[in-house]
Structure 1
Amino acid sequence: MTASSAIHPAWALAAPAVMTDGYSLEMTAKDIDALRAAAPHIAPETPIAITFLPGESMDARIAAAVTVRSLGFEPMPHLSARRIGSLDELAAMVERSTAEAGVQRVFLVAGDPPIPAGPFADTMSLLRTGLFERNGIKAVGIAGHPDGHPEMDSDALWAVLAEKRVEIESRGMAPLIVTQFGFDAAPFLTWLRELRSRGIDAPVRIGVPGPAGIKTLLRYAAHCGVGASASVMTKYGVSLTRLLGTAGPDKLVDALARGIGPEHGAVRLHFYPFGGLSRTVEWIGDYSARHAR
């Protein structure tokens, strides 16, 4: 069984009292001011993932991680394998992040570019450098794809996920699976059951879109290959014939709260703040207050 304390000090294997308990958030390096503004309403030690966007410098990403730490949260920088130009660049990012921001957790992805900018084609090539465990990283996040992946079939996805989990654990670190966001609880629940049936007991964070304009949500869905059919969006509370206004994840989170049980293992939520950090944090606070026992 994965040591949950290595994933996050506040993580418990028992089901949360409210589905939003123990959530994590995502930000970009440009969101520092927004994070400062929202900080008083974010739970202490909340994990904050810092994305690896093209056009954002290493200095900007590290400054964001330092800010996350200074505000009392847990920084979790993303590293995109195919966007990293050299081993020296990777080493500098890992070494500076741990030294300057106290980073103990990272999230690794292959990245979108079809041709790598340097020697790293995928997550495994990053892990095999040994840089993470040598610099005191305790946990490594990897991606889960309940809606599938455009470049891999289901069998390949499961095989790669299992391989990453073994590699991370063999290096003395704990794996954490963070899924792509979605609009329908059913694929998440089905995927979780299969994950556990395959003996993968790593904690999972389910990706939830924060409240945002309907057109914005659909744009991100199209870009990320997330299912957003008329039937799926109706479950989420959106009509594709009426694209004005905003939508929040109330129905999705309610459905997850009803559906997740002990057989799904350790599960928490990860919020993608497509409509802005402040709006997402406000929604989480309101939802938590309404469902507090």
Structure 2
Amino acid sequence: MKTPAVSFEFFPPRNLDASFRLWETARALQPLQPDFVSVTYGAGGTTRQLTHEAVTALSNHYGLNVAAHLTCVDASKAETMEIVEGYAEAGIREIVALRGDAPKGQAKWEAHPEGFASSIELIEAIAARGDFTIRVGAYPEPHPDSGGSSAADVAFLKRKIDAGATSAITQFFFDADTFFRFRDDCAAAGIDAPILPGILPIQSWKGARKFAASCGTSVPQWAVDAFEAAGPEGEAALAREICADLCRKLLDGGVEQLHFYTLNKPDLTLQVCRDLGVTETGLAA
């Protein structure tokens, strides 16, 4: 099994304690030499400034290649591109361009009257600058807004790649075959950009199920049965085993890079990376 490249997702801290957790997580994972790390952008743009601060700190203090999440939510085109300009001035060269979720209390996503109407418009505007690597989201299972159509998700991803994106990061999933089917569908649609599988090390089974329900990820019965049998005392060991097994299957199927959703908790991600031969030197043990 070839040692994979890895990347990690963080979220911006909202208070001092959360700041310490983020920096501790970055400090623990930085020696694994990630290809990049990404920093999320709160629903409705609620963490806009916090995201910018976290992105620049991770870049300046930890020497990490940081991809800043950016959405179309609750901002005009001029305001959004001002954020892009700020990243450029700070030396950031990667952006994860997303439509974004509806602000809290809003039933569905609506474009700002003077904003970008879709992630495609955002991607086109960033790509026109010519100085950013643009990553986008991808959905191996139907996006909640796609009407249950995987074909629609693949077609929309093709439009995002054609608009200037250079790679995609998937939503998390439980079964490797879910990713492989999606990858095959993308190839059949003419998508040749790298598609990185998003991996969620399960820090909390209850939290993972809630997250799955919100983003359209199906929860297989085998996982339900396994966590029920393990109980609270066996949850951590089971989560590590399940995550490492999923990653091995992906690597055996030709995947070369894994993107971990860390939830700003390094231990489980670090353990799984070590299980895969990703060590602090970046080389297989």
Aligned to 1:17: 2
TM-score, normalisation: structure 1 = 0.78
SS at match of 2:70: strand
Contact 1:183/1:233 (8 A) holds in 2: no
- Cα deviation, 1:154-179, whole Å, max 9, x if unaligned, reads 222221111111111xxxxx511100
Aligned to 1:136: 131
Tell me if 1:268 matches 2:257: yes
Distance 1:258 1:224, change over 3 A: closer
Corresponding letter in the other structure for 1:162: K
Aligned to 2:76: 86
Tell me if 1:196 matches 2:187: yes
Give me the whole-angstrom Cα distance separating, in 2, the residues matched to 1:161 and 1:126.
14
Distance 1:67 1:51, change over 3 A: same
Tell me if 1:127 matches 2:123: yes
Corresponding letter in the other structure for 1:124: I
Give me the whole-angstrom Cα distance separating, in 2, the residues matched to 1:155 and 1:44.
35
Corresponding letter in the other structure for 1:120: F
Contact 2:167/2:193 (8 A) holds in 1: yes
Q: CA deviation at 1:108?
A: 1.4
TM-score, normalisation: structure 2 = 0.80
**Following superposition, which runs of at least 4 residues in structure 1 exceed 4 angstroms of deviation?**
240-244, 259-262
Give me the whole-angstrom Cα distance separating, in 1, the residues matched to 2:57 and 2:267.
20
Aligned to 2:22: 35
Unpaired runs of at least 5, structure 1: 1-15, 169-173
Q: CA deviation at 1:261?
A: 5.4
The percentage of counterpart residues that share the same residue type is: 20
Q: 1:154 aligns with which of 141, 150, 157?
A: 150
Q: CA deviation at 1:40?
A: 4.4
Tell me if 1:104 matches 2:104: no
Give me the whole-angstrom Cα distance separating, in 2, the residues matched to 1:104 and 1:217.
31
Give me the whole-angstrom Cα distance separating, in 2, the residues matched to 1:189 and 1:145.
12
Aligned residues: CA RMSD: 2.7
Give me the whole-angstrom Cα distance separating, in 1, the residues matched to 2:48 and 2:200.
26
Contact 2:240/2:272 (8 A) holds in 1: no
Q: CA deviation at 1:243?
A: 6.3
Unpaired runs of at least 5, structure 2: 103-108
